[in-house]
Structure 1
Amino acid sequence: MKDKTIDYALRATWQAVARMYNEEATKYGATMATGFALLSIDRENGTPSTSLGPRMGMEATSLTRTLKSMEDRGLITRKKNPSDGRGVLLFLTKEGKEKRELSKETVLRFNETVKSHITEEQLQHFMEVAEVINDLINDKKIFNED
Structure 2
Amino acid sequence: MKDKTIDYVLRTTWLAVNKMYNEEAAKFDSTMATGFTLLSIDPEKGTPSTSLGPKMGMEATSLSRILKTMETRGLIERKPNPEDGRGVLIHLTDFGREKRAYSREKVLTFNDAIKKHIPLEKLQSFYEVAEVINELISNKKIYNQKDNILK
TM-score (norm 2): 0.95
Q: Tell me, which stretches of 5 or more residues in structure 1 are unaligned? A: none
Per the alignment, residue 88 of structure 1 pairs with 88
What is the rounded CA distance, in whole Å, between the counterparts of 1:138 and 1:59 in structure 2? 16
Per the alignment, residue 101 of structure 2 pairs with 101
Map 1:62-141 → 2, pairs under 5 A: 62-141=62-141
> What is the percentage of aligned positions where both structures have the same residue?
69
Q: Tell me, which stretches of 5 or more residues in structure 2 are unaligned? A: 147-151
Q: What is the Cα deviation at residue 31 of structure 1?
A: 0.6
CA offsets 1:14-63 (integer angstroms, 9 cap, x no match):
01000111111111111111000000000010000000000111111110
Query: Does residue 1:42 correspond to 2:39, yes or no?
Result: no
Q: What is the Cα deviation at residue 145 of structure 1?
A: 3.0
Amino acid at match of 1:79: K
Q: What is the Cα deviation at residue 144 of structure 1?
A: 3.4
- Over the aligned positions, Cα root-mean-square deviation in angstroms equals 0.8
Per the alignment, residue 59 of structure 2 pairs with 59
Aligned length: 146
What is the rounded CA distance, in whole Å, between the counterparts of 1:75 and 1:57 in structure 2? 21
What is the rounded CA distance, in whole Å, between the counterparts of 2:109 and 2:145 in structure 1? 43
